[in-house]
Amino acid sequence: MDKQQEAIVLQVIEGNLAKIKASRHNDCENCGACPGNSAMVLEARNDIGAQPGQRVVFEVQEINMLKAAFIVYILPLIAVFLGAYSGWKLAERVGSEPLWFQVAGGAMAFVLSVGYIKYFDSSARFDAKMQPVIVRILSE
């Protein structure tokens, strides 16, 4: 199921993109990761030709939101545990105290996961499947 929200078109950008301003929904307010609470400005695909000042409905595919949430919140946790486990196994092989190997392994895995999150974020901006889409014009 896709999430639909109302917004106002602020600006039409090159090609088929538009900057839109939308009020935050409950999921956004509960997360609190972005600054501010009342509205967000984002870029959306504008395949229907909405113009500045028009009220529109846009949607975000829920599967993409779940994928992004997994990568941002769960992947670093998994990476830290796997890094710590790898550090423990490495310490066993070299016959050393495992604590610092675990800390180093967890820290390195966390840094790698943050690097992947940055890569995912930059590639998602250009992936048409990950962008919000304007689906209907409500008013002029």
One digit per residue, pLDDT tens: the chain, 140 residues? 467 888 999 999 877 888 999 886 555 555 555 555 568 888 888 889 888 999 999 988 777 778 888 999 999 999 999 999 999 999 999 999 999 999 999 999 999 999 999 999 888 777 777 788 889 898 76
Going by C-beta distance under 8 Å and a sequence separation of 6 or more, which residues neighbour residue 75?
A: 113, 116, 117
Q: Which residues are registered as beta bridge partners of 136?
A: 57
Sign of the Cα torsion 61, 126, 28, 68 reads: positive
Looking at the whole model, is its pTM more than 0.75?
Answer: no
DSSP H or E stretch at residue 5: strand 2-13
Q: Which domains are seen in the chain, by residue range?
A: 2-61+130-139 (2.40.50.140), 66-123 (no CATH)
Residue with the two structure tokens 């395949």:
47
In one-letter notation, the amino acid at residue 118 is K
